[in-house]
Structure 1
Amino acid sequence: MVQRKGKHTVLILALVLMMITVAACGNNTNGKEQPTGNDSTAAVRPENDGPLAKYEPEIELTAMKNLYGDERYLPGDNLNNNVWTRAYEDELGIKVNYKWAVAGEGFQQKVTMSIASNDLPDIMTLPAKDYFTLAKAGKLADLTPYFDKYASDTLKSTLNADGGKQMKTAYVDGKLYGIPQTGGSDATADMIWIRQDWLKNLNLSVPETLDDVIEIAKAFRNDDPDKNGVKDTFGIGFQKDLTSSTGSFEGFFAAYHAYGKAWIRGEDGKITYGAIKPGMKDALAKLREMFAEDLIDVEFGIKDWKKVGEDIAAGKIGLFYGREGLPWMSAKDAIVNNPKAEWISVPIVSSDGKPAKPATNVTMERYFAVRADVQYPEALIKIINLFQDKINNPKTTMEMLNKFGVDPASGINFAAYAFGGLDPSEDKPNMYYKQINDVLEGKEQLDNIHPEAVRYYNTIKNYIDKGMDKGADPLGWNYYKFLGPESSWKIISYYRENNLFERSAWFGLPTKTMSQKGATLDKLQEETFIKILTGSAPVSDYDTFVENWKKLGGDQITEEVNEWYNSTFGN
């Protein structure tokens, strides 16, 4: 027995030695063993440790990546070897090794599989629901002790661009387990997009009231606005969903001070659902009239925003509610197809003289986090800091932006390679719009504005100086209509300056009752609204909808939304 035990011991030792040898070979780079983020003997935090201090020797962290699906690389580069991974290694002493990278719906599936198999990488990009689940289960590192020390001033500024509201959602039971992938709500505001050349053809003015919008819709449907001799244009473009980047109903509802999907916080501090506000019934009644008058495409109920975009690009739609990005989307396609097309954006209008306020919303979709057993959790914050230092730092240079942002030679957006890339979405386009137009108006010197804004300015100025020829310079037109003197961000600036945003008060995870009954309530709302709009149900059905919505869970959801808001932000 003793002899047999000795043989087993020798065998076990041999296997262990073999595993150590294989592991050492697998972790060896250029003959140098690399410690992992969990190796307690590997690296020592720098004596003067801080936001961008380098680990010596370097540490290695595994990661996951949510791809866009259209990534391109320079020759010799790939996901694990590019300008950003090299910067992490050279400047921070962190070798990032992506275990996996997936685009589209496959990303959520891969995250779910990784959680189920307990095979999570060291640093993660987590969908919101998984972030909170893992945090409560003790699977994520508590970043609370590290954030103040390691987060750079630029990162803190980025996360506070909205007053810190999105950052507050990252706390779980008072502890910070991740950094939110912030999004801007200003960019979700509706505005009215109109073919100005059609207005000129029909001797019509820019709308100032909802009645004006309806009169324009009638003319665009019935009076041959494109002068081709055929009745082939729609009055106004809508698509099947209540809110959308193109063909949205939300801007129309706002004319009646109601909202299809937003949660509105009243002067009394209570939050209510925008779709049950009194003005919604009148909004639906007016849409019903417009549909009966053939101003709305009879097939709108089966068209998504992409299909409506195709109609816009084909010159079938010249009036619709949409967001600020249209110069890069269907409006761009429209001027490529027809360089004579003239698009303008104007603020949404009211039905009753009271200011119409566009709804804005932000969805907390992703959080950057660290697995609980990683020895250097602050490394995540350093990685995110580096993006801020290269891209968003007020002292960054054009050379830096060309190297780590959009490459002017290849057109590749290197920033997409970064882990934890964050922009101060509320401030950045607003700031660039002001800086660019101040320079154009002679109020500011070009040398004093952000280098990234300089790039946009140069494109816009070149477009203006060369006669604003859309056909010859469609990219110049894109930037001009996006950030120039007659741009979508001019409209957003107008909204901000006049305090016209109606910011949706709820943007957290689905509440308990939302998860259970939200889909049923959404279906009830959509079916009721479509039936009323198309005339297959009376307008009075709206009152029945409100009663049923409340009984079937709406009242409970409203209570939960208020509880979430008060516990997150205070009363």
Structure 2
Amino acid sequence: MKRKSMLFLVLLLSVSMLLSACGSGNNGNSEASGNKEETPTITWLNMLHTPSPPTDTVLNKIEEATGVNIEFSWIPDASKEERLNTSLASDSLADIVTITILDNASVRNALKAGVFWEIESYLDEFPNLAAISDDFRTSASIEGKLYGIPMQKQVARNGVVIRKDWLDKLGLPVPKTTDELMEVAKAFTEQDPDGNGVDDTTGFMDRSDLVYGAFKTLSSYFGTPSVWAVDEDGKVTPEFETEGYIKTMDYMKQLYESGYINQDFAVTAKTDQQQNFAQGKAGIYVGALFGSKNLRNLAKGVQDDMELVLVNDITSTGNESDRAIWSTTNGVGGLLAFPKSEVKDEEELRRVLKFVNDLMSEEVYALMTYGIEGVHYTLDENKAATIMDTDLWKQEVQPFAGSRPSELGYEIRENDPLKAEADRLIEENTKYAVLNPMFSLESPTFTAQGSELQKIITDATYKYILGRIDLDEFQGAVNNWRKSGGDKIIEEYEAAYKQVNG
């Protein structure tokens, strides 16, 4: 009996010590470990637009603000199509998948096949998601269904950047029409705007890009639709069959033949275009207005007297009512999509949607754009942010910029007058934006052959501008486009438009 009592006492003492150890361990480890287990984790297959992923400095703050542990899997932007196709094929996805290539056949097929949740009916449950406009929802839909949160960007960002110091030196006003812009290009080429006594300047500095270079923005000024036009009867017309497109080609042809544009523009890379402009070789740059800040920074130490003016109200007629600016993607930068293989049920879907809703707060937007106040930036009384250490910001903050669900409507802004003016004009562009009516619609032929067929038009456009073919030969290329699949694309888009719009 005594032996049994002793064994019982030893066992009781052992259990007491074990419980005591467990208790003291929980108290001594702080509550963080316990909370960590309770904090939900969200995985995110995301695009990386910078050389390397961010450190955890800002990520930790984003996790604090959203109450979520975030596990990123980063895909370099340069290999996004291959990697995303592979992930779809192997079903190796994440709770959130950033999709920026909505015209990719594999992506569109996966969206339509029900791989991802259809989420429009859930948006109004969350205040920031509920505020997404009908235009964004429609533009981001596939055949009328929304399979992810639209990544909202400015609808129309382009305009004209001009050397104001050169305008002032030559006594020229800021141009308001395409004819006046031509006169500025002529003067910048012929009247020695930099005053060095050498014939070494031209008007436009352009690059080999008919979309993001000068051509498409100029075409807006001549009334060209944005990729496609559709009339009240649902008849679809490609932009290159419109009068505005021909007028733009003629305008560019005049610039080229007169020497008012860099003669190698058809083979010039974007980086070379920007470097040449920054070095004072030309005075007109057409592209994203926010790029003016980069042009000015590139010019430091080379063209320190450079003064830029940003212009977004040029027309070919001089009439305010004719103002227009293209918007190929209608401001949709992609989708944040939620695969059913990872997000198993509606409860889990709502949890992930709440996380995206929280990402759209002013606090998290500031973290993903500027970083941590006092570490990466300072803030003045007007909510203007000044970056403290550009290299640190690039390493710890910049990689998050491509992950923001929205870039619109926030109070905090950059404390740079030129960037502030660019932002103001880009916002103003929204009122004059010409949307692509086919952006959210489906044409299987366009998905399969669109890029290949576009090469026919791109090649013919350059040849016409460079004087290697005439208008009849250009029309011949258009007919070739139609016979090679273009007619089928138009037919499919007309059917899709009718199905969605009745």
TM-score by length of 1: 0.69
Q: Which amino acid in 2 is paired with 1:325?
A: F
Match of 1:470 in 2: none
2:44 maps to: 63
Matched, 1:503 2:444: no
Q: Secondary structure in 2 aligned to 1:180?
A: strand
- C-alpha separation in 2, matches of 1:540 and 1:85: 60
Which of 158, 179, 186 is 1:211 aligned to? 179
Residues 60 and 567 of structure 1: is their aligned pair in 2 closer, same or farther, counting only changes over 3 Å? same
Deviations 1:381-403 (A, max 9, x none): 1211221234379xx99xx9846
1:366-377 equivalent positions in 2, closer than 5 A: 366-373=334-341, 374-375=344-345, 376-377=348-349
After superposition, residues 274-293 of structure 1 pair within 5 angstroms as 274-293=239-258
Q: What is the CA–CA distance in structure 2 between the aligned matches of 1:293 and 1:125, rounded to whole Å?
A: 46
**Offset at residue 288 of structure 1 (A):** 2.2
**Match runs of 1:123-272 below 5 Å:** 123-126=96-99, 127-128=101-102, 129=104, 130-143=106-119, 146-149=122-125, 152-157=126-131, 159-160=132-133, 164-168=134-138, 176-187=146-157, 190-244=158-212, 247-258=213-224, 262-266=227-231, 270-272=235-237
Distance 2:374 2:495 in 1: 42
1:109 to 68, 75, 82: 82
Structure 2 partner of 1:95: 69
**What does residue 423 of structure 1 align with?**
406
Structure 1 unpaired stretches of 5+: 1-29, 36-53, 429-449, 460-478
Which runs of structure 1 show a deviation greater than 6 angstroms over 4 or more consecutive aligned residues? none
Aligned counterpart, 1:83: 61
Alpha-carbon distance between aligned partners in 1 of 2:187 and 2:282, rounded to the nearest angstrom: 12
Q: 1:362 aligned to 323, 329, 339, which one? A: 329
Cα pair 2:175 2:314 within 8 Å, conserved: yes
Given that 2:141 and 2:440 are in contact with CA atoms closer than 8 Å, whether structure 1 keeps it comes out as no
- Taking the aligned partners of 2:197 and 2:97, their CA distance within structure 1 comes to 58
Is the contact made by 1:326 and 1:332 (CA closer than 8 Å) also made in structure 2?
A: no
| Distance in 2 (alpha carbons) for counterparts of 1:414 and 1:336 | 27
Pick aligned residue for 1:515 from 444, 447, 466: 447
Summarize deviations over 1:175-199 as a string: whole Å, max 9, x none: 6542222332122xx3222111111
How far residue 509 of structure 1 moved from its aligned partner, in angstroms, is: 6.8
Distance 2:426 2:146 in 1: 32
Contact 2:50 2:399 in 1 (8 A): no
For each residue in 1:255-310, what CA deviation from the matched residue of structure 2 results, as whole angstroms up to 9, or x when unmatched?
33225x62234465544222210233233233323322222222111102222111
Alpha-carbon distance between aligned partners in 1 of 2:455 and 2:166, rounded to the nearest angstrom: 37
When structure 1 is superposed on structure 2, of 312-321 and 267-276 the one drifting more is: 267-276
Question: 1:327 aligns to what?
Answer: 292
Report the identity percentage. Answer: 22
Q: What is the CA–CA distance in structure 2 between the aligned matches of 1:564 and 1:55, rounded to whole Å?
A: 49
Structure possessing the higher relative contact order (Cα contacts under 8 Å, 6 or more residues apart): 2
Q: Which amino acid aligns with 2:272?
A: K
| Residue in 2 that maps onto 1:556 | 488
User: 8 Å contact 1:405–1:414 — kept in the other structure?
Assistant: no
Kindly tell me: are residues 267 and 193 of structure 1, through their superposed partners in 2, closer, same or farther at Cα, counting changes over 3 Å? farther
What amino acid maps onto 1:211 in structure 2?
Answer: D
What do the CA deviations read for 1:357-381 (whole angstroms, capped 9, x no partner)? 2212226553223332424122211
Rounded to whole Å, the distance in 2 between the matches of 1:528 and 1:379 is 51
2:302 alignment partner, one of 323, 329, 337: 337
C-alpha distance in 2 between matches for 1:95 and 1:206? 51
Please report how far the alpha carbon of residue 534 of structure 1 lies from its aligned counterpart in structure 2 after TM superposition: 1.2
1:399-451 deviations in Å (ceiling 9; x for gaps): x98469964455636485499631253x55xxxxxxxxxxxxxxxxxxxxx3x
The change in CA–CA distance for 1:418 and 1:543 in structure 2 (over 3 A counts) is closer
Q: 2: distance between equivalents of 1:372 and 1:304?
A: 41
For residues 449-472 of structure 1, give each alpha carbon's deviation from its aligned partner in whole angstroms, at most 9, with x where no partner exists: x3x14xx4xx3xxxxxxxxxxxxx
Q: Which position in structure 1 is the counterpart of 2:473? A: 541
* Residue identity opposite 1:205 in structure 2: P
In structure 2, how many angstroms separate the alpha carbons of the residues matched to 1:148 and 1:200? 52
Q: Is the counterpart of residue 307 in structure 1 residue 272 in structure 2? A: yes
Q: State yes or no: 1:528 paired with 2:460.
A: yes
Distance 2:353 2:145 in 1: 16
- Note closer, same or farther for the CA distance 1:532–1:416 as it changes in structure 2 (3 Å cut): closer
Indicate if the aligned counterparts of 1:360 and 1:501 stay in contact, CA closer than 8 A: yes
SS of the residue 1:204 aligns to:
coil
Map of 1:5 onto structure 2:
none
Residues 227 and 264 (structure 1 numbering): CA distance in 2 closer, same or farther, change over 3 Å?
A: same
Q: What whole-Å deviation, never above 9, does each CA across 1:477-511 have from its counterpart, x for those lacking one?
A: xx21222xxx2344445545xx5332222323762
Contact 1:197 1:341 in 2 (8 A): yes
Q: How far off is 1:104 after superposition?
A: 2.0
Distance 2:253 2:202 in 1: 16
Residues 14-47 of structure 1: per-residue CA shift (max 9 Å, x gap): xxxxxxxxxxxxxxxx899x99xxxxxxxxxxxx
SS in 2 for 1:371: coil
Could you list the runs of 5+ residues in structure 2 that have no partner in the other structure? 1-28, 379-387
The answer to whether the Cα contact below 8 Å between 1:178 and 1:368 also exists between their aligned partners in 2 is yes
Preserved CA contact (<8 Å) 1:384 1:420: no
> What SS class does the counterpart of residue 318 from structure 1 fall into?
strand
For each residue in 1:120-157, what CA deviation from the matched residue of structure 2 results, as whole angstroms up to 9, or x when unmatched? 233322353455433444433454664433xx212321
* C-alpha separation in 1, matches of 2:43 and 2:143: 27
Contact 1:390 1:404 in 2 (8 A): no
Amino acid across the alignment from 1:120: L
Instruction: Give the Cα–Cα distance (whole angstroms) in 2 for the partners of residues 514 and 211 of structure 1.
Output: 36
Q: Residues 336 and 271 (structure 1 numbering): CA distance in 2 closer, same or farther, change over 3 Å?
A: farther
